A and B are shown apart, each in its own frame.
Chain A
């Protein structure tokens, strides 16, 4: 009997959420098929790739990275260099230095710097916080105000601060917000319910459902994203139809495979190559599992994943 192809396109779809403005704006989500399943139905908005720059500087033991950012001494310089990378769909500013347990940079300084970047670069912006809930709440609120009209994504609100973040970013300044949970499907849904109940338009919300570096419990990431997408598409669950944005860099570059120098373990080879492989492998796995966007640190990873996506679409 001849093979009969029966496309599995769903009536439900993932919300399409746009960040940035004008020609450089990028839209995440919108698909009505399982991740990357272009053979079931066209995916209008291909998964996006972001490049992250942190305000704590760059690692000095990675020659290719150093070369890419050569001459860039400030966060603004680095952001401008990163934004020039044509394979990057958006730029993510990571405000690590705001952490009260670290450099504890003031909110004012952070906001001023982010504002300068927003004025200087054309790409859509994602602002990642320092993971300190109180500081991030304040940062997101002030950044949302300072960047009015830029349509930026604040990544992310958590169970502890979703109210303030939702009210002060999306509702007050029409920015986009992320909802963060850590490999917990029930909490992922619950956060979206709570954010929506505040009055935030579901179309302004993306999810960061958590990730892990490949090999570090990634099967939990797969099962979480898988369940989220099947609820969103098969069961038309409006509380899980937000696109998924996954910051891969912070996981992929903090495991020993990406940290230990080749001098210490010669048989492992060059640390930069290893780190890039870790980042690329994790990012590809996230995209295959359901991420609508990944955020990467190394320009080589960005290029590789961008080519990977282009080849699949």
Chain B
């Protein structure tokens, strides 16, 4: 059994510091966040450059080379609505530590990102949604099949598709939570890998509550077979939960220092 894969979410242009650093091509704040996440146990780092309509290609190339150059070719997830920027990023990407992840495709407007991943031997995050939130798991499964067929039709291995059940905010959509967990189990039973922006579940909750809720959600999702998540690895409680769950499900052999590894 493989260990849970943590995709670090903290290089995101929604952060003013990162946005400024990206605009000014200032390496320091980006490398600092990359290092914090790697030290905390991230396997992949997500690089979100936003829509980046004007200079996306050049920016993504710069970010990929900067981060991989500094951190021994750590694998990255390339996150932007600008397809050309993702392609540009992949063109300079070093695969020695893992394929690039394209973040992301859905069954709607963004389905062509599956093609992009297939053409570039990349991994795709496939959101099981079209426009808005799926009504139920039948709908989720329909989108999942559409994405799968598209990928396989283009020669992708199902292992290179990370299906995203779409984590929903608990405040306001509490009744949807069991569905999401059930859908993860459905993906697992079909042998598929999965991921998602898990901390969305605690959106709007008090700061001190969020790590607790996120940790509970990740433990429950891992029990259903979730194989990775896009999260903040600097959330100590969550990382401790993930590491503990990996021990309990046998993905990592226990040693007294397991939390430090």
Residues of A within 8 A of B (CB): 185-187, 189-190, 193-194, 197, 227, 231, 235, 237, 239-240
Q: Are A235 and B252 in contact (CB under 8 A)?
A: yes
Q: Are A186 and B252 in contact (CB under 8 A)?
A: no
Q: Are A231 and B257 in contact (CB under 8 A)?
A: no
| B205 interfacial contact with A, CB 8 Å | no
Q: Which residues of A contact B260 (CB under 8 A)?
A: 193, 197
Measured CB to CB, the nearest residue on chain B to A237 is B253
Q: Are B257 and A235 in contact (CB under 8 A)?
A: no
Q: Are B3 and A190 in contact (CB under 8 A)?
A: no
| B173 interfacial contact with A, CB 8 Å | no
Chain B's nearest CB lies how many Å from the CB of A158? Answer: 15
Q: Which residues of A contact B3 (CB under 8 A)?
A: 235
Chain B's nearest CB lies how many Å from the CB of A291? Answer: 19
Q: Are A186 and B2 in contact (CB under 8 A)?
A: no
How far is it, in angstroms, between the C-alpha of A297 and the C-alpha of B32 when the chains are bound?
56
| B209 interfacial contact with A, CB 8 Å | no
| B71 interfacial contact with A, CB 8 Å | no
Q: What are 26 A-B pairs with beta-carbon distances under 8 A?
A: A185-B253, A186-B254, A186-B255, A186-B256, A189-B253, A189-B254, A189-B255, A190-B256, A190-B257, A193-B255, A193-B256, A193-B257, A193-B261, A194-B257, A197-B257, A231-B252, A231-B253, A235-B1, A235-B2, A235-B3, A235-B251, A235-B253, A237-B253, A239-B255, A239-B261, A240-B253
What 0/1 readout, one digit per residue, does chain B (221-261) give for beta carbons within 8 Å of chain A?
A: 00000000000000000000000000000011111110011
Number of A-B residue pairs with CB-CB distance less than 8 Å in the complex they form = 34
Measured CB to CB, the nearest residue on chain B to A194 is B257
Which of A190, A194, A237 is B252 in contact with, Cβ under 8 Å? Answer: A237
Measured CB to CB, the nearest residue on chain B to A189 is B255
Interface size class of B (residues with CB under 8 A): 10 to 19
How far is it, in angstroms, between the C-alpha of A186 and the C-alpha of B252 when the chains are bound?
11
Q: Which residues of A contact B1 (CB under 8 A)?
A: 235
Q: Are A227 and B253 in contact (CB under 8 A)?
A: yes
Q: Which residues of B contact A187 (CB under 8 A)?
A: 255
Measured CB to CB, the nearest residue on chain B to A236 is B3
Residues of B within 8 A of A (CB): 1-3, 251-257, 260-261
Chain A's nearest CB lies how many Å from the CB of B32? Answer: 24
Q: Which residues of B contact A240 (CB under 8 A)?
A: 253
Measured CB to CB, the nearest residue on chain A to B251 is A235
How far is it, in angstroms, between the C-alpha of A197 and the C-alpha of B261 when the chains are bound?
10
How far is it, in angstroms, between the C-alpha of A194 and the C-alpha of B257 when the chains are bound?
8
How far is it, in angstroms, between the C-alpha of A186 and the C-alpha of B258 when the chains are bound?
10
Q: Which residues of A contact B253 (CB under 8 A)?
A: 185-186, 189, 227, 231, 235, 237, 240
Measured CB to CB, the nearest residue on chain A to B253 is A231
Apart from A190-B257, A194-B257, A231-B253: 12 A-B pairs, beta carbons within 8 A: A187-B255, A189-B254, A189-B255, A193-B255, A193-B257, A197-B260, A227-B253, A235-B1, A235-B252, A237-B252, A239-B255, A240-B253
How far is it, in angstroms, between the C-alpha of A235 and the C-alpha of B4 when the chains are bound?
11
How far is it, in angstroms, between the C-alpha of A231 and the C-alpha of B260 when the chains are bound?
18
Q: Which residues of B contact A189 (CB under 8 A)?
A: 253-255
How far is it, in angstroms, between the C-alpha of A293 and the C-alpha of B255 when the chains are bound?
25
How far is it, in angstroms, between the C-alpha of A81 and the C-alpha of B245 when the chains are bound?
54
When A and B form their complex, which 9 residue pairs have the shortest distance between CB atoms, in order from nearest? A189-B255, A190-B255, A231-B253, A193-B257, A190-B256, A186-B254, A193-B255, A189-B253, A186-B255
Chain B's nearest CB lies how many Å from the CB of A250? Answer: 26
Q: Which residues of A contact B2 (CB under 8 A)?
A: 235
How far is it, in angstroms, between the C-alpha of A231 and the C-alpha of B255 when the chains are bound?
12
How far is it, in angstroms, between the C-alpha of A187 and the C-alpha of B257 when the chains are bound?
10
How far is it, in angstroms, between the C-alpha of A235 and the C-alpha of B257 when the chains are bound?
17
Measured CB to CB, the nearest residue on chain B to A185 is B253
Q: Which residues of B contact A197 (CB under 8 A)?
A: 257, 260
How far is it, in angstroms, between the C-alpha of A74 and the C-alpha of B1 when the chains are bound?
53
Chain A's nearest CB lies how many Å from the CB of B24? Answer: 38
